[in-house]
């Protein structure tokens, strides 16, 4: 039995890899991405239709885009906005990992069914499918999707790299996904399979007649670094394949549509698509229709997580947390704003956890009702340990709310928390009651090693959240922000911070699609004036004004705009010499997601997710996916820029439209400070301009860590993960630290020497306990 891959971080860099490889299974429109996308959309459509019919509903999508499919699947179930952002993110995870195979396993015959590696390739598929099913059962959907992308690449390559369609087969080879069935009639290593192609390129009918007549299964040998191959064997072919210049020359690959293979290429694409659909159907059968849709990201967008201090002085805070959870559950039931998942992580001192995760609101009510305040004694607590558990256990882009009246003892986790925030793009908000000190006895020596409220502020700002300091008596007024955030289709219009504070005017665009627009300001000793496009103004002390309502509690100002808001350019003028933050949010189905990418070369070049953060002072590329109110054509993107949250720097990018709402954005340099992505465009439906901003702050690095995980872990065995450290900075000795989210024993070099502009390699080992619970394993 094997475990899903652990989440871990090195320094402040998360080991995230992957590729957006538009690597063809054939030329033209037939790529791994297009084949996978067509099959995934078709299968999701089938499942949505089946569920609708079982519930007596009509299923009538207006088109086949992600937006239209999600609207038809979820829209009729409840009132409210339906965002396709989670579905689009899920699709991108699959596509990215599909392409990663061409970068990270370019020289592995098994991953591509090259060099007659049929048994090894089949094992990758069957082990992968078993892992997918286990991860879906454990609700580790992202891990399941990433494995699916890799498995589908290997499966699809079988049909373009072998002679399956040359043999006349028009249906998929079922034995590839059935480990109980034998692989039959394989050409052995001593059997010649091809004739010589004198031109050295591609020739039609190069497979020997006896191989075709006897229905012998073979595939082309591929050599990127060596031209060696067994005597008489077919080659893959192409400029990157050194074996294709050795007799028998040529190749049998159907990766591109060429004049010599049009029919075979088309056949390979058709059968690969059918094989993809059948593998997806196998997973659907194991998961069930509802969990299959969750696996594919078809779910209401809001996921709320509560990390709650349960030490002795937290009784009132826990009561308020219970009240908020009950209000969310009771008020959002039957609407699109009802969270798709609830997560609860209690923490005390020294204990924290367990993580409780459920889609059942009644279970969440029961679990949070069990919380009681007890224990503690000294001031700092294990807050960041509880937060780490939530970040590793919650889906990406979750909303996490931390309740505490103490600073954090486990400050050493700060960089890990920051790395997890950046990798998951989840939003973290802190509710800290009292002064965070006076309620508890301090213990000598602990205070100096603990965090301060500023630590919470920094983490909240990095994630796009809030750090709210408030008295216990006023906590109920502050928790309205949780109600605001636990909604579907939540988008950020603007986010800025100033430290130290200064007088400054910020402008932002409100478009017709936005609803429930809310402005959050945190800070002390500040004033502000809000102005709409018509010139109407409202100050911070006008509780009920013409533009909206202003609520003040602790260091938080919450401005809820009136529903009859004007579209166009708004302004808010801030005035304070103290630090402050500003954030504008609303509900809209116009949204975007993004990743930083880099190009990679090889037989099938493409775009790869960068490992960690973009490089300081260097150009960068982003892959941006934009979602409209109806489909990708219902928005027009004008510009994309990187904007510093705490400064004035704006770096605009050049756009390349890649179709289907995807854009490749190139910037000449990355800002030196923390920054976000700002996107402007036009909503075609209403002909109004819009503005959207990412929430998670990113930053640059001069150090990059890369690692490729090519297998799963097994209980009782040691797992080895090679990694490479690269730097554009001055060389020297770099300190290395690592953590994993299951507290398994790890060994990593304490330091590693890297030359200026060079790289160095190391190994991390993880020992999985032999008694790891069965429910935490996957085949």
**What confidence tens digit (pLDDT) does each residue in 503-532 have?**
999 999 999 999 999 999 999 999 999 999
pTM: 0.89
Q: pLDDT tens, 11-37? A: 222 222 332 222 333 334 568 888 999
pLDDT for residue 773: 53
10: Cα within 13 Å, side-chain hemisphere: 27
- For residues 657 and 624, what is the distance between their CA atoms, to the nearest angstrom? 10
Section 194-200 average pLDDT? 89
pLDDT for residue 331: 86
Omega of the bond leading into 577 within 30 degrees of 0 (cis) = no
Instruction: With a cut of 50, say whether residue 215 has pLDDT above it.
Output: yes
Q: pLDDT tens, 529-580? A: 999 999 999 999 999 999 999 999 989 999 999 998 899 999 999 999 999 9
- For residues 669 and 14, what is the distance between their CA atoms, to the nearest angstrom? 22
pLDDT for residue 618: 85
pLDDT range class, residue 137, cuts 50, 70, 90: very high
pLDDT range class, residue 602, cuts 50, 70, 90: confident
Section 384-407 average pLDDT? 92
27 or 407: which carries more pLDDT confidence?
407
Contact present, 515 and 586 (Cβ < 8 Å): yes
pLDDT for residue 18: 31
pLDDT range class, residue 4, cuts 50, 70, 90: very low
pLDDT for residue 376: 58
Q: Report CA Rg, the chain.
A: 28
% of the chain at pLDDT higher than 70? 92
Instruction: With a cut of 70, say whether residue 458 has pLDDT above it.
Output: yes
pLDDT range class, residue 107, cuts 50, 70, 90: very high
Our CA dihedral for 321, 325, 327, 333, rounded to 10 degrees, sits at 170
Lookup: tokens for 89 = 């993110």
pLDDT range class, residue 78, cuts 50, 70, 90: low
pLDDT for residue 733: 86
pLDDT for residue 571: 98
pLDDT range class, residue 366, cuts 50, 70, 90: very high
Helix (H), strand (E) at residue 431: strand 427-433
Residue 689 is given by DSSP the state E
pLDDT range class, residue 648, cuts 50, 70, 90: confident
Nearest Cα residue to 287 out of 64, 44, 60:
44
Section 722-746 average pLDDT? 82
184 or 28: which carries more pLDDT confidence?
184
- For residues 449 and 256, what is the distance between their CA atoms, to the nearest angstrom? 60
pLDDT for residue 615: 84
Q: pLDDT tens, 684-712? A: 999 999 999 999 999 888 888 888 777 77
């Amino acid at each position: 039995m094997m475990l899903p891959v652990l989440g871990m971080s090195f320094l402040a860099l998360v080991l995230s890899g992957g590729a957006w490889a538009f690597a063809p299974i054939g030329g033209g429109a037939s790529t791994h991405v297009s084949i996978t996308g067509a099959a995934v959309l078709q299968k999701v459509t089938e499942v949505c239709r089946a569920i609708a019919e079982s519930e007596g509903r009509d299923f009538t999508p207006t088109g086949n885009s992600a937006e239209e499919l999600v609207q038809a699947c979820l829209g009729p179930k409840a009132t409210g906005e339906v965002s396709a952002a989670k579905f689009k993110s899920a699709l991108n995870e699959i596509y990215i990992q599909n392409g990663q195979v061409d970068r990270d396993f370019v020289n592995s015959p098994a991953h591509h069914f090259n060099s007659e590696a049929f048994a090894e390739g089949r094992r990758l598929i069957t082990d992968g499918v078993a892992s997918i099913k286990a991860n879906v059962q454990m609700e580790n959907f992202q891990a399941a999707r990433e494995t699916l992308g890799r498995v589908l690449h290997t499966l699809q390559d079988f049909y373009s790299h072998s002679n399956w369609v040359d043999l006349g087969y028009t249906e998929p080879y079922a034995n590839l996904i059935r480990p109980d069935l034998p692989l039959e009639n394989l050409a052995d290593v001593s059997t010649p399979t091809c004739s010589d192609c004198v031109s050295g390129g591609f020739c039609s009918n190069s497979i020997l007649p006896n191989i075709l007549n006897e229905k012998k299964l073979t595939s082309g040998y591929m050599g990127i670094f060596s031209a060696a191959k067994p005597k008489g064997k077919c080659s893959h072919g192409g400029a990157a394949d050194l074996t294709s210049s050795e007799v028998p020359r040529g190749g049998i690959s159907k990766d591109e549509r060429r004049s010599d293979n049009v029919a075979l290429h088309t056949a390979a694409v058709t059968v690969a698509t059918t094989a993809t659909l059948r593998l997806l159907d196998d997973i659907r059968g194991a998961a069930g229709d509802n969990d299959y849709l969750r696996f594919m990201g078809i779910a209401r967008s809001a996921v709320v997580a509560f990390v709650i201090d349960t030490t002795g002085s937290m009784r009132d805070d826990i009561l308020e947390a219970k009240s908020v959870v009950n209000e969310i559950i009771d008020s959002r039931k039957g609407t699109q704003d009802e969270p798709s998942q609830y997560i609860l992580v209690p923490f005390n001192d020294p204990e924290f956890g367990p993580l409780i995760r459920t889609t059942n609101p009644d279970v969440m009510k029961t679990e949070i009702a069990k919380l009681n305040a007890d224990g503690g004694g000294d001031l700092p607590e294990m807050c960041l340990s509880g937060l780490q558990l939530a970040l590793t256990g919650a889906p990406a882009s979750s909303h996490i709310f931390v309740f505490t009246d103490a600073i954090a003892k486990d400050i050493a986790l700060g960089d890990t928390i920051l790395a997890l925030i950046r990798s998951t793009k989840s939003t973290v908000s802190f509710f800290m009651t009292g002064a965070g000190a006076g309620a508890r006895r301090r213990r000598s020596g602990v205070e100096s090693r603990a965090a301060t409220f500023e630590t919470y502020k920094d983490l909240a700002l990095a994630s796009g959240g809030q750090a709210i300091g408030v008295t216990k008596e006023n906590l109920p007024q502050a928790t309205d922000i949780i109600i605001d955030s636990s909604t579907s289709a939540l988008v950020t219009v603007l986010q800025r911070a100033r430290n130290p504070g200064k007088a400054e005017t910020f402008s932002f665009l409100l478009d017709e699609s936005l609803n429930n627009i809310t402005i959050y300001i945190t800070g002390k000793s500040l004033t502000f004036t809000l102005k709409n496009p018509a010139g109407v103004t409202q100050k911070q002390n006008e509780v009920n004004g013409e533009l909206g309502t202003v609520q003040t509690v602790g260091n938080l100002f919450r401005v809820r705009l009136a529903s009859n808001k004007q579209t166009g350019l708004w302004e808010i003028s801030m005035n304070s010499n103290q630090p402050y933050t500003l954030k504008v949010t609303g509900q809209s189905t116009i949204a975007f997601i993004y990743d930083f990418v880099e190009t990679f070369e090889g037989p099938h070049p493409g775009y790869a997710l960068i490992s960690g953060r973009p490089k300081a002072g260097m150009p960068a590329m982003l892959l941006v996916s934009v979602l409209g109110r109806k489909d990708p054509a219902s928005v027009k993107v004008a510009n994309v820029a990187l904007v510093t949250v705490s400064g004035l720097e704006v770096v605009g990018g050049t756009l390349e439209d890649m179709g289907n709402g995807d854009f490749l954005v190139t910037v000449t340099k990355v800002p030196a400070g923390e920054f976000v992505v700002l996107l402007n465009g036009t909503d075609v439906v209403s002909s109004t301009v819009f503005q959207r901003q990412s929430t998670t702050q990113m930053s640059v690095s001069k150090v990059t860590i890369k690692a490729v995980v090519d297998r799963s872990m097994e209980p009782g065995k040691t797992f080895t993960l090679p990694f490479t450290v690269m730097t554009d900075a001055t060389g020297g000795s770099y300190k290395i630290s690592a953590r994993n989210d299951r507290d398994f024993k790890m060994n990593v070099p304490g330091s590693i020497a890297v030359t200026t502009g060079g790289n160095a390699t190391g190994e991390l080992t993880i020992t999985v306990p032999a008694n790891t619970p069965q429910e935490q394993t996957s085949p």
